[in-house]
Amino acid sequence: MDNRLLQDFVQAADSRGLGLFGVAVQQGGRFLAEHRWVEDRPHVLHSLSKSYTSMAIGMALDAGKLELGQKVVSFFPQELPNPLPPMLEDMTVRDLLIMAPGHDTPLMMSHQRGRIDQPNWVRYYLAQPLDREPGQRFVYDSACTYMLSAIFQTVMGETVLDYLTPRLFAPMGIARPYWQTCPRGITLGCAGLYLRTREILPLGTLCLGEGKLDGRQIVPAWYVREATSKQIENGGVKDGGSGYGYQFWMNHHTGYRGDGAYGQLCIVLPEREAVIAINADHENIQEILDTVWECLEPRL
């Protein structure tokens, strides 16, 4: 392990007050370096959790239990409002993956979930009116990922966490992580997964290997390629506006990433065969990314 790789990055992070907890780097499948500011323990990944749910969806597609073009209403006949909100029947699994469900404002961000006044979040979501045809406009909403988790449980007969534990997390060397649920026990999907910093690295390894870990195909290659490629324009600036895949963000500089609030990052750099994992508590994620592009990525 050569922590000289991280010297400039660590110094810049300290001088800029980035509030980092830990950073870990691997390249060419080899662990290179790690630096910790606090004790290493499982840390909530916030929306980086979404990228793991995306991998679950890819596995369900591979199992023939799901199709990208399937209508969301088809999975929940007992939960549908009467009458259906206009355009709801056009919403597809893919629309949820690319954050374009047809709502102009989000419904289940962290500050909103505690105010949902019923335990059946699927029923709540399906009752909300749409503002436009699904698939037209990117609007970031954790409800999209929660609904993907609910759909997964419906078609696979297990929660996302229960299914992924032996099939994804175990091959990653993670015994059984903690993942929060909704009031009905559905894996939250959009947030609430807890991992250590180094435990984030295998997600990037999986993506670099187009769904393979240690020579075993876990998620279909075609799906990983699509998930980590731009599928929709998402507005914004710099790394926040360079496009969105299936629960992955495109970097304006190079590569793509899983991204959670306050700096939970799995940055994948295919041209360098590298993965950078970060846990932090900082309001400005772009400032963390700028420091990666300036002080770490050029040294790989």
Instruction: Tally Cβ neighbours within 10 Å of residue 39.
Output: 7
3-state class (DSSP) for residue 44: strand
What integer is the mean pLDDT of 52-58? 98
What integer is the mean pLDDT of 23-46? 96
pLDDT for position 2: 64
Q: What whole-number distance in Å separates Cα of residue 292 and Cα of residue 18? A: 11
Residue 272 has pLDDT above 90, yes or no: yes
What integer is the mean pLDDT of 15-37? 97
- pLDDT tens-place string over residues 212-222: 999 999 999 99
Q: What whole-number distance in Å separates Cα of residue 205 and Cα of residue 108? A: 30
Do 75 and 154 touch, CB atoms closer than 8 A? yes
Q: What whole-number distance in Å separates Cα of residue 50 and Cα of residue 56? A: 10
Burial bucket for residue 2 (CB in 10 Å: 0-12, 13-18, 19+) = exposed
Beta bridge partners of 70: none
The tokens 């929940």 sit on which residue? Answer: 76
DSSP letter, residue 232: B
Q: What whole-number distance in Å separates Cα of residue 49 and Cα of residue 226? A: 18
- pLDDT tens-place string over residues 133-162: 999 999 999 999 999 999 999 999 999 999
Residue 42 has pLDDT above 90, yes or no: yes
| pLDDT, greater one: 235 or 191 | 191
Q: What whole-number distance in Å separates Cα of residue 187 and Cα of residue 49? A: 11
Tokens representing 161 are 């966490």
* Domain chopping of the chain, boundaries: 42-195
Residue 21 has pLDDT above 90, yes or no: yes
What integer is the mean pLDDT of 74-97? 96
What integer is the mean pLDDT of 44-52? 98
3-state class (DSSP) for residue 114: coil
What pTM was estimated for this model as a whole?
A: 0.97
pLDDT for position 4: 85
- Rounded to whole angstroms, the maximal C-alpha distance in the chain is 62
Contact residues for 236 (Cβ-Cβ < 8 A; gap 6+)? none
Q: Helices in 31-171 by DSSP H: which ranges?
A: 49-62, 93-97, 110-113, 121-126, 142-156, 160-164
Q: What is the mean pLDDT of the chain?
A: 96
pLDDT for position 180: 98
pLDDT for position 186: 98
What integer is the mean pLDDT of 3-23? 95
Tokens representing 285 are 């994620």
CATH fold for domain 42-195 = Beta-lactamase (3.40.710)
Residue 53 has pLDDT above 90, yes or no: yes
